[in-house]
Amino acid sequence: MRNHEIDAPDQKMPVQEVVIEKRADAAVQGESSANQRPTAVRYGAIAWLVTAAALAYLTRNSVGVAESRIRDDLGLTLGESGWFMGAFFWTYALFQVPTGSFSHRFGTRLALSLFALGWSIATFATAIAPGFWLLIAAQLLTGVAQAGIFPASTKSIKDWMPMSQRSFGCGLLTMGMQLGAVTASVLTGELLGIMSWRWVFVLFSIPGVVWTIGFAFRFRDRPELSPRVNEAERRLILSGRPAEQTDEAADDVGPTDWGAMLRHPGLWLLYGQQICRAAGYMFFASWFPTFLQQTRGVSIAQSGYMQSAVLAGSLTGGLFGGLVVDWIWKRTGNLRLSRSGVASFAMGTCGLLILASWFVEDARLAIGLLTMGTMLASLAGAAMFAAVIDISGGRVAQVLGAVNMIGNFAVALCPILVGKLFEQTSNWNLVLVLFAGLYLLGGLFWAFFCPRRGIFNKVPEPAS
């Protein structure tokens, strides 16, 4: 009996021990998850997007460098060459919204893979073009294929980056654009010295295909779809977002309310600043070397180097702009100050620096002022991407597509309007004043923009 009395409680002990052990294991696992170091898969995802932007700008900007060789080889007139180079911008502008909608529906992974293959095929078509019409067709296809890059990429930045690092991600994307543009200016010129323009474009058609293969295998549309993202990184990515918002809820918002987009006053302000900023950038990317030759008496070679310096300012602004915007947001928690305040100051100061360069006789000092100006304008670009993410909810690709579409119509018209203005006035200084005024106007648009007013609903308070 005594043994039995002792054994009876012992028969129940294993059950109690199992319960206790399970609770202990759960506690240990929870503590381990809390102390887990986040993986860095998000930076790899952003690196794929930045590389795509750089490759896109490499292929599009190389056309301008090789234009004279193409024109001479195919016997084109200056007018035909102008139409050939300008064809890109019309489809690029018109297809911003459709390709953005496609990216939203089917995901960045599929969309960007198709887009990169499309512009690679178009680049190869440029290389084998026998005449004017295939050149036009190739440029039109390039515009369609590259139109969706930035709507899709911005959506992925929203999905992959924590709120405190979104502007940094957007700044890296802007840096990728400028890196591709500067590389195109230097690399295309060097390659044209050792091979024909056709082989240059054959070479430039290859990186996009290689990128597509790697991207399709490695990239995932959202962190929860990647097995390489641990729980700590996923919590980090979600940190600071509105408490009621999840990745799935953000995407599942039904059909796009285009009427709400038309009625939203803040979106019209973003349209306005994008027109000013895009037109200003296009002046530096197109007519600026001619402006320097006419007003500063520099050689063609010198004007090319000076243009590269100004574009390098845009590259620097793209990189550090995102850091500045994120730093201000983390320090103040104020969306309007970190978006509208930064961008308004940056674009307004850019306009003042351009005006100041008018009064400076030394060409190098003037270039220094203009480089500082383009750096600030590019900083405003990082704020623009972040602001679109703030106000568009789950429709980032469509909203950014609309903003980019409006801006690229201004880009397409800018070279034409500058040429007409000079024909009417024969005064290049008026052109400089015009673009200084555009940047100042862009700063004014930003001053009235409020990122707290969402397009489809009020932007919720961030989670604590």
Alpha helices per DSSP H over 219-285: 231-238, 247-251, 258-263, 265-285
Q: Are 63 and 181 in contact (CB under 8 A)?
A: no
**pLDDT digit string, tens, across residues 281-326:** 878 876 677 778 778 887 766 777 787 788 888 888 877 888 888 8
**79 pLDDT tier (thresholds 50, 70, 90):** confident
Q: Is residue 5 part of a domain?
A: no
pLDDT in the model for residue 392: 82
Q: Are 45 and 189 part of one and the same domain?
A: yes
Domains held by the chain: number: 2
Burial class (CB in 10 A: 0-12, 13-18, 19+), 159: buried
Would you say residue 256 has pLDDT above 60?
yes
* 220 & 97 share domain: yes
Q: How far is CA 362 from CA 301, 354, 373, in A?
A: 18, 14, 17
User: Residue 34 — very low, low, confident or very high, per pLDDT cuts 50/70/90?
Assistant: low
Same domain? For 317 and 391 the reply is: yes
CB 197 within 8 A of CB 102: no
Amino acid sitting at position 236: L
Q: What is the CATH number of the domain that holds 113?
A: 1.20.1250.20
Q: Let me know: does 291 contact 305? Beta carbons within 8 Å.
A: no
Query: Quick one: average pLDDT of 30-52?
Result: 82
Residue 345: inside a domain: yes
Cα-based angle 251, 402, 386 (whole degrees, multiple of 5): 65
Q: What is the pTM of this model?
A: 0.74
Whether 10 is covered by a domain: the verdict is no
Closest CA to 90 of 410, 448, 444, 451: 410
- Supply the range of the domain harboring residue 111: 39-226
AA letter at 451: P
Residue 453 in this model has a pLDDT that exceeds 70: yes
Confidence of residue 23 (pLDDT cuts 50, 70, 90): very low
Q: Same domain for 193 and 302?
A: no
Q: For residues 436 and 434, what is the distance between their CA atoms, to the nearest angstrom?
A: 6
| Cβ atoms 168, 330 nearer than 8 A | no
Q: What is the DSSP letter of 255?
A: S
Closest CA to 154 of 170, 141, 130: 170
